[in-house]
Amino acid sequence: MPHFDNHGLKGGVWQGHLSGVTAPPPRVVLIQHAEILTDARLTADAAGGWRVEVDIPAQALSDGMQTLLLKTAATGQDSGPDGHVLARLSLLAGDPLDEDLAAEIAALRAELELVKRELRRFAADLKGR
């Protein structure tokens, strides 16, 4: 089974290393909303695997959360049912994100206060024994 080590996103290019296969897949594609956006570039490396690079197209960026899939595909135009999902990349952007993060931070603060209060209660119980 193929294994993809994610090396991150930099300058609009998602990079990684593909290993665990004896030959490169015929095609590796970037998919969003069940639509192929672009093909990835595979280059053989000294480690016996393949360096994978795929440009993130501007059309993939918009407000909210966007999930991109890196998937092996048949040589045809579609991703095919036999394709294997190598990795997922989640991108967050825009105004809706600000509200989501503020709510998440508020929830984390409330949970932290609860944990602190319980630890103090526990410490007081131990002192009383």
Query: How confident is the model at residue 81, as a pLDDT?
Result: 47
Residues (pLDDT < 70) of the chain are 74-82, 96-98
Position 47 scores a pLDDT of: 84
Rounded to the nearest integer, the mean pLDDT of the chain is: 87
Residue 77 main-chain phi, psi, to 5 deg = -80, -25
- What class, spelled out in words, does domain 3-93 have in CATH? mainly beta
Q: Where are the domains of the chain?
A: 3-93, 94-129
Q: What is the pLDDT of residue 4?
A: 94
Residue with tokens 């909210």: 64
Instruction: Write the CB contacts of 97 (distance below 8 Å, at least 6 apart in sequence).
Output: 63, 64, 65
Strands (DSSP E) contained in 27-96 are 27-32, 35-39, 41-44, 50-55, 64-73, 85-93
How large a percentage of the chain has pLDDT more than 70?
Answer: 91
User: 14: part of which helix (H) or strand (E)?
Assistant: strand 13-19
Terminal CA-to-CA distance of the chain, rounded, Å?
57
Write down the pTM of the prediction.
0.69
pLDDT at residue 17, rounded to an integer: 95
Rounded Cα distance, 70 and 87, in Å? 5
